[in-house]
Amino acid sequence: MAVVDKWTGLGSALASFLFLWSMVQRHVPVTLSHRVATWANKLASYLNPYLEITISEYGAERFRRSDLFLAAEAYLSDACALRARKLKAEIGRDSSNLQVSVGDNDEVTDDFQGATVWWYVAKKVPRSNVINLYGNQDEPRFYRVVFHRRHRDLVVAKYLPHVLREGRAVTVRNRQRRLFTNNPSGGGRGRGDVWSHVAFEHPATFDTLAMDPEEKEEILDDLEAFREAKDYYTKVGKAWKRGYLLYGPPGTGKSTMIAAMANFLDYDVYDLELTAVNNNTDLRKLFIETTGKSIIVIEDIDCSVDLTGKRKDDKKQADGGADKPKLPMEPEKDEGSKVTLSGLLNFIDGLWSACGGERIIIFTTNHKDKLDPALIRRGRMDRHIEMSYCRFRAFKVLAKNYLDVEEHELFGQIGQLLEETDMSPADVAENLMPMSKKKKKRDANVCLENLVEALKQAKEDAAKAKEKAEAAKKKAQEEDDAKKGKGQDQGDKTSESKMSNGHIK
């Protein structure tokens, strides 16, 4: 009973002290209260050797989550989640993968270069009658980083940058990559409206790409060197970007090559449709809205728009060479995209190309000779990759992928036919895909025999086409010679007539 009375008295005394302190604070000058608070903090620092850093979920931009907070969240989920006792699971934005992260009101520890760091996840309880500035988040969260004061320089100068760097890397690895396409009218409607996107789920890899293995290895080495060359590009004073020109006949794997590059680098893909861009200004806006770690693709660059800058002159000449007067109510006709060669060159290699960094720009074409030399010179399109017809080494990749066959008795005949016949990898793959109705699976023997027949037929068709072309050429030459001979005969008759007339005269 005496113990209960003792604790009761202590509680009453503490309550009385707190009441009196609150009354005293009202009459104490502000400077004195600040001085007392400063002394109290100093006394606490002497008694408590631990420091703390707070990382808020929302920074200066109240409607946007802090990059450091997001990086810390990703870092803790990857490096420290196994040591946490409270976890939360959710489906990430634009992703079907389950993401597990550290739950609220939990503590996790991390070790860095001999220093122990404690992370505390908590929420800020909002005051009543306060307008929420954090969107749908009723209780903004924050991280409290606690560490010994002797590790202050290490944590501030090295550990937190390490968390930011590793957290961003984890975000890139776990994110759902996207395939973008530009909206019509060039995106003058505001931020976020210039591109539309879907999840990028193309399964192509360099292992499945029908191409000579040595050429593939060179391309992989080039991509790997680019990805690790940020400091080198800064040293030489160049924007961190690289251009690739993929050229060759249809069906030779140009689009598949782009997908394989994106999957190898873990980059987003921006498929730029030039015919939907109004002018050079809108083209620059599109470039600004792209992110780093991305591939910007313009397919069939020779067929997209006329980049000579002479569209208007050509149309005027076709209409008679003069501007026709327009009626007051006559609407303006859409002349299509006004993107010029100069605007596209600035897009690739101008001042705007350095915004963001770590980008790859790819052009594809079926006719390399139709492109302006200034557009594909080194420095803009740094590497030219020819996507040619299927040859034997590329065929072996297809046979392994489609039929799980690495050696076969028909390979010798197929190899000879492929060297004599131009057949695209897409056509070769089509002959390897038929499934046997009886066995309910692909029969390698049947597929390879079908390919042999298709190659023989293609060889015959090519020979007939060649004969037909030579015959047409020969016929045209004969007609040309006949016209020249007829013209010469008429000239001789004319001269004889003149001589006869002169003799009579």
Q: Report the share of the chain in percent with pLDDT over 90.
A: 16
368 in Cβ contact with 388 (< 8 Å): no
In a domain, 495, yes or no: no
Give the residue numbers spanning the domain of 271: 180-185+193-308+338-386
254 in Cβ contact with 246 (< 8 Å): yes
Dihedral sign (CA 475, 476, 480, 483)? positive
Residue 312 predicted with pLDDT over 70: no
Query: Could you tell me if 362 and 219 lie in one domain?
Result: yes
Query: Could you tell me if 99 and 55 lie in one domain?
Result: yes
In a domain, 16, yes or no: no
Q: What's the rounded Cα separation, in Å, for the pair 21 and 11?
A: 15
What 3-state DSSP class applies to 465?
helix
Among 61-70, 103-112, 374-383, the range of highest mean pLDDT: 374-383
209 in Cβ contact with 256 (< 8 Å): yes
Q: What is the dihedral of CA 348, 354, 357, 362, to 10 degrees?
A: 0
Determine the pLDDT at residue 254. 92
In a domain, 93, yes or no: yes
DSSP 124: P
End-to-end CA distance of the chain: 161
Q: Residue 333 — pLDDT band, cuts 50, 70, 90?
A: very low
Query: Could you tell me if 234 and 368 lie in one domain?
Result: yes
Q: Are strands 241-247 and 195-199 parallel, antiparallel or unpaired?
A: unpaired
CA angle 372, 374, 379 (to 5 degrees): 135
In a domain, 325, yes or no: no
How many Cα atoms are found within 13 Å in the side-chain-facing hemisphere of 417? 23
Determine the pLDDT at residue 385. 93
Query: Could you tell me if 377 and 472 lie in one domain?
Result: no
Q: What is the dihedral of CA 440, 446, 450, 456, to 10 degrees?
A: 180
Determine the pLDDT at residue 269. 94
Query: Could you tell me if 381 and 397 lie in one domain?
Result: no
Q: Which helix (H) or strand (E) holds 249?
A: none
DSSP 64: S
Q: How many CB atoms lie within 10 A of CB 200?
A: 16
In a domain, 19, yes or no: no
Q: Using one digit for the tens of pLDDT, what is the confidence trace for 420-467?
A: 888 989 899 888 887 655 556 678 888 898 899 999 998 888 888 888
Query: Could you tell me if 373 and 404 lie in one domain?
Result: no
- The token pair at 453 is 């027949």
Higher-confidence residue: 245 or 130? 245
The three state secondary structure string of 431-494 is HCCCCCCCCCCCCHHHHHHHHHHHHHHHHHHHHHHHHHHHHHHHHHHHHHHHHHHHHHHHHHHH
Angle between helices 67-79 and 160-174 (to 10 degrees): 80
Residue 475 predicted with pLDDT over 70: yes
Secondary structure (DSSP) of 378-439: TTTS-EEEE-----HHHHHHHHHHHH--S--TTHHHHHHHHHHS---HHHHHHHT----TTT
Query: Could you tell me if 239 and 304 lie in one domain?
Result: yes
Q: Using one digit for the tens of pLDDT, what is the confidence trace for 161-215?
A: 999 988 888 877 777 788 999 988 644 444 447 888 888 889 999 998 988 889 9
Higher-confidence residue: 2 or 290? 290
Residue 346 predicted with pLDDT over 70: yes
Determine the pLDDT at residue 44. 64
Query: Could you tell me if 375 and 398 lie in one domain?
Result: no
Q: What's the rounded Cα separation, in Å, for the pair 170 and 38?
A: 41
In a domain, 68, yes or no: yes
Query: Could you tell me if 401 and 448 lie in one domain?
Result: yes
In a domain, 409, yes or no: yes
Q: What's the rounded Cα separation, in Å, for the pair 281 and 288?
A: 11
Q: What's the rounded Cα separation, in Å, for the pair 442 and 402?
A: 9
Phi, psi of 292 (to 5 degrees): -70, 170
Q: What's the rounded Cα separation, in Å, for the pair 500 and 505?
A: 8
Please state the rounded mean pLDDT for residues 102-128.
76
Query: Could you tell me if 472 and 420 lie in one domain?
Result: yes
Please state the rounded mean pLDDT for residues 47-76.
78
In a domain, 80, yes or no: yes
Number of domains comprising the chain: 3
Query: Could you tell me if 239 and 368 lie in one domain?
Result: yes
Measured in whole angstroms, the distance separating CA 104 from the mean position of its chain's CA atoms is 34
- Block residue for tokens 């080198």: 232
Q: Residue 63 — pLDDT band, cuts 50, 70, 90?
A: low
User: Which CATH number fits the domain that encloses residue 298?
Assistant: 3.40.50.300
Query: Could you tell me if 402 and 359 lie in one domain?
Result: no
Q: Are strands 241-247 and 268-271 parallel, antiparallel or unpaired?
A: unpaired
Lowest mean pLDDT among 8-17, 307-316, 387-396: 307-316
